[in-house]
Amino acid sequence: MPSYLHPGVYMEEIPSGAKPIEGVSTSIAALIGGTTEGPIGEPVLVHSWDDYKARFGGIHSETDALAIAAFNFFLNGGRDAYIARLADNAHTAALPAGTLPGRSGGTATATNVLSLSATSAGVWGNALRVHVVPAASGVRFKLDVLLHDSASNTDSLLESFGTLSMDSSDPAYAPVVINGGSRYLRAELATDLQNNPATYYLAGESVSDDLSGFDWTTVLPTMSLTLNIDNLGPQTITLGAAADGAYSSASDVTQAITTKVLALGSAYTGFACTFGGDNKLHLASGSKTAFSAVVVRPGPLATLLKLGTGNGGTELHGARDVVPRDNGLQALTLGSDGDAPTADTYASFFTRLAKVRDVNIVLLPGQTLDPSGAANPVIDQAITHCENTANRMLLVDPPAGTELDTAGKVQALSPPTSTYTALYYPWVRIANPFYNRDTHPTAPTTLLAAPSAFAAGIWARTDGTRGVWKAPAGVEATVRGMAGLEFQVEDGEQDQLNPEGVNCLRKLPSYGAVLWGTRTLSTKANPEWRYVPVRRTALYIESSIYNGIQWAVFEPNDHRLWSSLRANVGAFMDGLFRAGAFQGQKASDAYFVRCGLGDTMTQDDIDRGMVIAIVGFAPLKPAEFVIVRIQQKVGQS
């Protein structure tokens, strides 16, 4: 409580108790299966087909079930999806020995300096080539990334990174730039540099032109030299009088320059000016770091000593000896797609996916019900996953090539009867993206695609336009990208399939390709959850309330909390009622929210730390059978 110590007016803000509940997403899918590019074993959120291509490379083959499913999901209205590539024993393509060799020079020996590998495991990385082009300065380099076409034996440029540096303090530091901007490569320092980078960094040094036959007596005590050593800033030194009264040799000049620089302070310890057997003047900073350098500014003495030509002499950086050399076109190798994921692989991933709370729809491209009726352990694990998380549904695919025209054939597949599953039939014919009359004339013009991805996209589209309580079926639920169906479904076939919970894709006169069914597979086992929109509306309400009342945990368990829960949950349910999500002309007919002592809980519940609220709603049921009865009107006399 605030303290009131002096007479006056006190302004205070008090909470209203309103804690609005926000509705959760309803149409974020998780597509789980095998493909040949992209991160393995982690859910990656993508927002469009272009996003998918950027991370997973698009459709790689006619049997790339995951990519084909993602394409059809986004084509039919899907917006967000977690993509999970699963594989066992896959390997990432990399340069032989993993590294680019460095240049030689100075006191260091040429060594491997930069390790390059593909962004993800798979054979696709074996087609990558890299080419290093050092800059004229010797300090920077360009890296080109190319794609090799084995059929034509040609290389096409994919990416190019110019003016890269091996100086870790430089904004163009190669590992940072490549890892942040490359779609195809990942880079890191080679093992030798990681273990002991100072071994391979030379002291920054500026080397003059050949001074053989130079007249050292032309150097005067009044002459000055401006240097920037190790990026510490420009410093001007004046030679002053020579030790023996006049400059007459190289040692007189080098000693004077060294003495004056060392006198600038401890930061310059290690600096040395020497005259080498190559008849050149050498100015070395003495430090062994990537950013060590000696820069000579233009001036009369710099020009006289042949350090002042151009922009101030030959500027050399410490990182120059770890700049990769031009080693020609180098190929990445040893990439492997690995083995197909096993049931254990899926089981391990479902444990991880359970922590991704915003998934609502689960697809298993490449996994179907077994034609013999045997159990598919991956589908069984996915159903268990959906039931345990209680906020998502699984769309199951029938086997391709199996016509379901009788109830007996459906029952022979032994489909699951979980309220969290839905089955769509038949498979869809789509245009083959690999067919080309000129280059691939023998390829089939169409491919078969599993129907679940089409349905999931239509679920998402319907959620966005009508709401999760609207059945994702009917003449509005048009199927996009369909060139045909594997089997035609007419009224007679659907008479057999609908009671079994099989939702059909059909071609209707005047309406084209549509989804024509909205049942879950619990049609007979649990008729309360017979319809897809009823099951999904309940999941939407449960997840929204779960997220929206976390604030109530550890609050005092009394009438104030109960009243607040009734008010906030009631406001959320009323919003859904006004949006048309429930049956009933009045709110009291559509939903109720109860929470209180003697109503939803006893004193014993309260003593055990429990607050219990009961929320009920009257779900909208789809008008599955529209019956129009016609009779003749008998004339009246």
* pLDDT band (50, 70, 90) for residue 458: very high
Average pLDDT over residues 3-23: 85
Q: What does the pLDDT read at residue 106? A: 38
Could you tell me the residue range of the domain that residue 161 belongs to?
92-200+324-331
**Does the pLDDT value for residue 510 go beyond 70?**
yes
Q: Tell whether the torsion through CA atoms of 573, 575, 579 and 583 is positive or negative.
A: positive
CB 314 within 8 A of CB 295: no
pLDDT value for 308: 63
What is the pairing mode between strands 205-207 and 591-594?
unpaired
The answer to whether residues 439 and 508 belong to one domain is: yes
Report if residue 544 sits inside a domain.
no
Residue 25 structure tokens: 């997403």
Has residue 370 been placed in a domain? yes
- Beta pairing class for 361-363 and 29-33: parallel
**Residue where one domain finishes, among candidates 533, 566, 585:** 533
Instruction: Indicate whether 514 and 572 sit together in one domain.
Output: no
Confidence category of residue 629, pLDDT binned at 50, 70, 90 = confident
Distance CA 348, CA 87 (A): 12
Q: What is the mean pLDDT of the chain?
A: 90
Number of domains in the chain: 4
310 pLDDT higher than 60:
no
pLDDT band at 495 (very low <50, low <70, confident <90, very high): very high
Residue 108 in this model has a pLDDT that exceeds 50: no
Torsion angles phi and psi, residue 284, rounded to 5: -120, 135
Q: Is residue 458 part of a domain?
A: yes
Give tens-digit pLDDT for 321-356: 788 888 889 999 999 999 999 999 999 999 999 999
Tell me the CATH number at 448. Answer: 3.40.50.11780
Burial of 314 (0-12, 13-18, 19+ CB in 10 A): buried
Residue 452 contacts residue 398 (beta carbons within 8 Å) = no
Q: What is the pLDDT of residue 32?
A: 98
387 & 490 share domain: yes
Whether residues 426 and 516 share a domain: the answer is yes
Q: pTM for this one?
A: 0.83
pLDDT for position 200? 65
Report the pLDDT averaged over residues 104-133: 81
Query: Residues 500, 523: one domain?
Result: yes
Q: What is the pLDDT of residues 565-620, one digit of tens each?
A: 999 999 999 999 999 999 989 999 999 999 999 999 999 999 999 999 999 999 98
User: Per the domain annotation, does 595 fall within a domain?
Assistant: yes
Let me know whether 114 and 69 are in one domain: no
DSSP-derived letter for residue 406 is: S
pLDDT tens-digit series, residues 189-229: 888 777 766 666 677 778 888 888 899 999 999 999 999 89
Reading the block at residue 584, the tokens are 């009933």
Identify whether residues 213 and 185 lie together within a single domain.
Answer: no
Residue 126 has pLDDT above 70, yes or no: yes
Q: Of 513, 94, 535, which Cα lies nearest the Cα of 334?
A: 94
Q: Which of 533, 565, 600 is the last residue of a domain?
A: 533
* 240 and 173 both lie in a single domain: no
> Does residue 624 have a pLDDT over 60?
yes
Rg (CA), the chain: 37
CA distance 357 to 117: 33
Same domain, 348 and 270: no
Between CA 411 and CA 404 the distance in angstroms is: 10
Same domain, 68 and 179: no
Please report whether residue 41 resides in a domain.
Answer: yes
* 173 shares a domain with 77: no
For the residues 262-271, what does the mean pLDDT come to? 92
Residue 213 covered by a domain? yes
Tell whether 502 and 412 lie within a shared domain.
yes
Task: Provide the 8-state DSSP code for 323.
Answer: S
Regarding beta strands 92-101 and 112-121, do their DSSP bridges make them parallel or antiparallel, or are they unpaired? antiparallel
Q: Looking at 331, 361, 395, which one is the last position of a domain?
A: 331
Residue 562 lies in a domain: yes
Output the domain CATH number for residue 187: 2.60.40.4290
Distance between CA atoms of residues 177 and 186, nearest Å? 10
> Quick one: the chain helix, strand, coil %, rounded to 5?
30, 25, 45
Q: Give all strands (DSSP E) within 60-165, no chain letters.
A: 81-85, 92-101, 112-121, 128-134, 140-149, 154-165
542 domain residue, yes or no? no
Tokens 């104030």, residue?
560
